[in-house]
C-alpha cells in the first residue's frame, strides 16, 4: 500500500438536516494516537447540539487540521489518519514532516474555515472591530478615524507651510468692563473673622462643586470679577482643608475618571445553539401571528395525586414532578382538540396524528427543545422515563440533532425559575406552546371558604392563523381541568 493511499482525510460530516458548519469544541485524540473504528475523535457543536463524531477508520492520527474553537464547514477535512501504521513510517513528504508541514486540505477548503476570534478580540469589519482606513466599524457605516484629530484652519490663520512667527510679547489684558450694578445691591463685605456677609457671587456650577465638596462659600474670598468665587477658589480651599475632607476629594476624582468604553464591555460571538435560537425566534415572532391566553388553576388535588403516586412501590425509583402531569394533560387535551397539533404549510394546514412533545431545556450552551417522539402513545410511566432521559441528556450537552427535530407541540417550564408564567414564542413549524408557571400556596376560594391552596398559572401561545380564540380557550381549559382534578378527567375522557 502506498503512503498516500494509507493516509485518509476525514471530512466534517453533515450531522443532520442540512447543517452547513460546526464548531470544534474539543479534540478527543492527538497526533500519534492509535484509534479504533467508531472511536469518538472530536466533539463538534452544531447549530443544534454538541455531538461526538466517531472515526471512520482505525489507525493512527497523523494530522489535525483545525484547532479547538475553529468553525468548519461541512465537507472540509478535519483530521488525517494512517490506516496502516504497521507498514512502517510514512515518507517525510507526507507525515514525517513537522506539524506545520503535515498534509493540509485544499486552498478552497481552508478558505471556507472561520477561526473564532480570541477572547476579548473583535473580528475586523464587525461592530467595534478594525475597518479600512483606520476606522472603527459601528452599527451603520464606520466611525471616526483612529488617527489624531486635525483642526480645520480658522479664517485668518496662517497657512501650514508658512514659517512660524516669532512669539509676540504677551499683551496686557484690558481692564474688564464693569457691569452696571443696581444701587440697592450690597457688595459682599468681609468681616473680621474672615466670613463674607451679604450675597456671595458664584456661578451655579461653582456652587454645585462647593456643595459636593462640602465647602462653605461664605468663608472664601473670590478671585474672579467683582470678587466672585471661581472653581479654582473652591479647589484651593479643599486642598487646604484637613485630612478629614480627603475621602470626598478621592471619591470625586474616582467618579470623574470612570471609564465607559470598550474596556468595560464584553462581546460574545453569536454562534451555535444561540445563533439558531435567535434565528428561529425572530422568524417565528414575525411570521406567525401570536396570541397568548392565561389560566390560573388550583392544582392542590394534582399535587396530592403525585404524592400518592410516589408512594407506590413501582414508582419509587421514578422521577415524578408536576411537569409530568402537565405533559399528560397536554397529550389528553390534544386528543380532544387535534387542530392544536398542526402546522401552517402556506396554502394548507397539516394536522398531525402523532405528538412529538417538546420540552424546552436551558443548558450552558443556550435554550434547546428536544422532543419525545410519538409521546401520545406512551403510558404515564413510559412518559416519565422519557422525560427524565431527555432532561439528563440535554444537561450533559449530548442531545442529538435528531432529538431536536420534528417537534409538533412544546411545553416550557418557567416555574423552575420561580416565574408565574410567560408569553412564550412558538418554535417554527408548531402552532402552540404552553408555559407552566410556579406552583405557589395562595388564598383561594374552595367550597365557599377562603383557604390556602396550591395554585399555578398557565400561559398558552398559539398561531392565530390556525387556532382561533374559541379553540385555544377550550384547549387551555381542558389542560386546566385535568390539573385541577386528574382522576375525574381521566375517568371522563378515557
Catalytic residue list = 464
Cell numbers for 27 = 479534540
Q: How far apart are CA 220 and CA 194, in angstroms?
A: 8
Q: Provide the 10 A C-beta neighbour count for residue 49.
A: 27
Cell numbers for 16 = 443532520
Residues 6+ apart with CB under 8 A from 231: 205, 206, 209
Q: How far apart are CA 468 and CA 349, in angstroms?
A: 14
Helix/strand/coil for 46: coil
For residue 374, the number of C-alpha atoms closer than 13 Å in the C-beta half-sphere is: 2
DSSP of 399-452, one letter per residue?
--GGGGSS--EEEE-GGGGT-----PPPPTT-SEEEEE---EEEEEEETTEEEE
Cell numbers for 29 = 485524540
Among residues 28, 121, 51, 49, the alpha carbon closest in space to that of 364 is found at 49
Long-range own/partner contacts, residues 317-322 (CB < 8 A, 24 or more apart):
318/381, 318/384, 318/385, 318/388, 319/384, 319/387, 319/388, 320/384, 322/415, 322/436, 322/439, 322/456
Long-range own/partner contacts, residues 389-398 (CB < 8 A, 24 or more apart):
390/359, 390/361, 391/359, 391/361, 394/361, 394/363, 394/368, 394/370, 395/361, 395/363, 397/49, 397/50, 397/363, 397/364, 397/365, 398/49, 398/50, 398/52
Helix/strand/coil for 350: strand
Q: Provide the 10 A C-beta neighbour count for residue 240.
A: 8
Q: How far apart are CA 99 and CA 107, in angstroms?
A: 18
Helix/strand/coil for 199: coil
Helix/strand/coil for 306: helix
CB 230 within 8 A of CB 222: yes
Q: How far apart are CA 127 and CA 142, in angstroms?
A: 9
Amino acid at each position: 500500500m502506498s503512503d498516500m493511499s494509507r493516509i485518509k482525510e476525514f471530512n466534517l460530516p453533515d450531522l443532520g438536516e442540512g447543517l452547513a458548519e460546526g464548531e470544534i469544541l474539543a479534540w478527543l485524540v492527538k497526533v500519534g494516537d492509535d484509534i479504533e473504528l467508531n472511536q469518538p475523535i472530536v466533539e463538534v457543536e452544531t447549530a443544534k447540539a454538541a455531538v461526538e463524531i466517531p472515526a471512520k477508520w482505525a489507525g493512527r492520527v497523523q494530522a489535525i487540521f483545525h484547532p479547538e474553537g475553529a468553525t468548519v464547514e461541512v465537507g472540509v477535512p478535519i483530521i488525517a489518519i494512517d490506516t496502516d501504521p504497521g507498514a512502517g513510517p510514512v515518507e517525510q513528504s507526507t507525515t514525517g514532516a513537522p506539524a506545520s508541514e503535515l498534509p493540509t486540505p485544499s486552498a478552497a477548503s481552508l478558505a471556507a474555515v472561520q477561526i473564532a476570534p480570541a477572547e476579548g478580540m473583535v473580528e475586523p469589519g464587525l461592530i467595534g472591530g478594525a475597518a479600512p482606513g483606520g476606522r472603527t466599524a459601528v452599527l451603520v457605516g464606520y466611525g471616526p478615524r483612529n488617527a489624531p484629530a486635525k483642526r480645520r484652519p480658522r479664517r485668518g490663520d496662517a497657512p501650514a507651510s508658512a514659517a512660524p512667527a516669532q512669539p509676540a510679547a504677551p499683551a496686557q489684558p484690558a481692564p474688564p468692563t464693569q457691569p452696571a450694578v443696581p444701587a440697592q445691591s450690597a457688595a459682599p463685605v468681609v468681616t473680621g473673622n474672615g466670613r463674607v456677609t451679604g450675597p456671595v457671587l458664584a456661578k451655579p456650577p461653582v456652587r454645585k462643586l462647593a456643595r459636593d465638596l462640602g465647602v462653605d462659600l461664605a468663608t472664601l474670598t473670590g478671585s474672579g470679577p467683582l470678587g466672585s468665587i471661581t472653581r479654582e477658589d473652591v479647589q484651593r480651599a479643599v486642598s487646604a482643608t484637613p485630612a478629614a475632607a480627603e475621602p470626598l476629594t478621592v471619591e470625586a476624582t474616582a467618579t470623574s475618571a470612570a471609564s465607559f468604553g470598550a474596556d468595560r464591555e464584553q462581546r460574545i460571538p453569536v454562534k451555535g445553539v444561540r445563533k439558531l435560537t435567535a434565528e428561529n425566534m425572530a422568524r417565528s415572532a414575525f411570521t406567525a401571528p401570536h396570541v397568548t391566553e392565561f389560566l390560573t388553576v388550583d392544582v392542590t388535588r394534582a399535587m396530592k395525586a403525585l404524592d400518592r403516586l410516589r408512594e407506590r412501590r413501582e414508582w419509587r425509583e421514578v422521577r415524578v414532578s408536576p411537569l409530568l402531569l402537565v405533559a399528560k394533560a397536554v397529550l389528553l387535551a390534544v386528543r380532544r382538540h387535534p387542530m392544536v397539533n398542526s402546522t401552517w404549510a402556506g396554502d394548507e394546514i397539516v394536522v398531525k396524528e402523532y405528538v412529538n412533545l417538546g420540552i424546552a431545556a436551558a443548558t450552558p450552551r443556550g435554550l434547546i427543545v428536544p422532543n419525545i417522539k410519538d409521546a401520545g402513545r406512551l403510558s404515564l410511566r413510559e412518559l416519565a422515563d422519557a422525560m427524565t432521559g431527555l432532561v439528563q441528556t440535554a444537561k450533559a450537552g449530548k442531545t442529538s440533532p435528531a432529538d431536536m427535530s420534528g417537534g409538533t407541540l412544546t411545553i416550557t417550564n418557567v416555574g423552575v425559575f420561580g416565574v408565574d408564567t410567560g408569553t412564550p414564542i412558538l418554535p417554527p413549524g408548531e402552532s402552540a406552546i404552553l408555559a407552566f408557571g410556579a406552583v405557589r400556596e395562595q388564598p383561594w376560594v374552595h367550597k365557599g371558604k377562603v383557604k390556602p391552596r396550591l395554585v399555578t398559572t398557565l400561559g398558552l401561545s398559539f398561531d392565530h392563523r390556525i387556532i382561533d380564540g374559541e379553540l385555544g380557550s377550550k384547549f387551555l381549559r381542558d389542560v386546566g381541568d385535568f390539573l385541577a382534578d386528574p382522576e375525574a378527567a381521566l375517568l371522563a375522557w378515557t
